[in-house]
Structure 1
């Protein structure tokens, strides 16, 4: 069996219990070396074969997996965050399908949830927004026209923007046009949960300058939306005057 495992955003303890167990049992580990902490490898058993995929192409990765599988070895493909979000696992799974190699995807903690946790906010705030949009700006990877940042921002939902901090000026301009408000709160979380994490807080008016002052060009999550304010609204779930299936109102 081959396992695609989400390693989490940075902190090695944010991998799932299942992910850690499978990593310990692996005979072969292929990890995304440019993004995944090498501390994860400390949990591997002695004699494990380890490959850094940061300089490898799809054919090379597939060859290693295929050879290991034919030798009866257990393979772990260790990705950053959650592999189902910008994980580039689809093309790998297609290749394994061609070779009739079975695999399983083990989810992980995404950088967008880790970043929100680090700024101590909740994406879904009653009376503010109940929707979270995960997206990125167009670049070498195109984005469908109907998913342009300006179009998505017009919903005024909470947003988590991946792989875009290097284009912070363009991101901000599109968001301003979409939200039609330059005072929308923003947070940029660089390397969420890593030891060198940095959190920059501002609004669409000043966040670009703050990010450039810190010279942050990659590995950062951009959070945008009114959920970042302390809006004074709360869920009614624990309100003593609110009834639900498991509790009567006082």
Structure 2
């Protein structure tokens, strides 16, 4: 069996319980060495074979899985964050399916969740934004034309950008072209939940300079949106004049009491 496991955003104790248990009984671990915290590998048995996929091709990764399966091994493919986001797991799963090898996916805590925790932010504030767009700036790998940043910016939703730290001048240009104000709050979130985490706050017009001044060039998320500001509406769910399945509205009281 091959298990695709989300390692979480960085801190070793933010992997799921299920993911930790799979590491403890793995015979083979293939981990994304450029992004996954190596402290997680301490959970592996002493006899476990460990491969760093940062120096491997897709074919080499799959070959390790296929050979391990032939030998009856338990294989863990350890991806950063949650493997469903920019994890390139579909191509691996398709190869395993073609080879008749069973696999399962163990979800993880994505770095965009870790960023919100470190920012002490809520991405979906009433009256501000009820939508989160997870995307990236076009670079060496293109994005569909309909998903250009300037098009997505037009929605005014909360934006979380992966894989874009080295392209911040282009990010700023695209978001401004999409109608965002230069004063839109933003944050550069470097290695969230790691010991050397950095959280840099500013505005869209300052975005490239924020990262440059701190020496941040990779391994960071960019969060853009008014949810990082101070204005929002209170949730109706907890308003005194709002009835729910579990609580009746109280007459004469409004949502601001």
| Runs of 4 or more consecutive aligned structure 1 residues displaced over 4 Å after TM superposition | none
- The 1-side partners of 2:115 and 2:86 are apart by 16
Say whether the 8 Å CA contact 2:126–2:232 is kept in structure 1.
Answer: no
Whether the 8 Å CA contact 2:156–2:180 is kept in 1: the answer is: no
1:206 counterpart SS class: helix
The C-alpha deviation readout for 1:105-163, integer Å capped at 9, x for no partner, is 11111111110111111010111111000000111110011100000000000000000
Number of aligned residue pairs? 250
Matches within 5 A, 1:70-81: 70-81=70-81
The alpha-carbon deviation at position 240 of structure 1 amounts to: 2.5
What does residue 125 of structure 1 align with? 125
Which stretch of structure 1 is more off in the superposition, 78-87 or 170-179? Answer: 170-179
> What is the TM-score when the length of structure 2 is the normalising length?
0.95
Shift of residue 179 of structure 1?
A: 3.0
Q: Is the 8 A contact 2:127 2:232 kept in 1?
A: no
Task: Supply the RMSD in Å over aligned alpha carbons.
Answer: 0.9
Q: Secondary structure at the match of 1:18?
A: helix
> 3-state DSSP class of the match of 2:236?
coil
1:240 alignment partner in structure 2: 240
Per the alignment, residue 214 of structure 1 pairs with 214
Counterpart CA distance in 2 for 1:239 and 1:20 is 40
What is the TM-score of this pair, normalised by structure 1? Answer: 0.98
Deviation at 1:204, TM superposition (A): 0.8
Instruction: For residue 207 of structure 1, report the CA deviation from its aligned partner.
Output: 2.0
Q: Which runs of 5+ in 1 are unaligned?
A: none
Unaligned runs of 5+ in 2: 251-257
Aligned residue in 2 for 1:7: 7
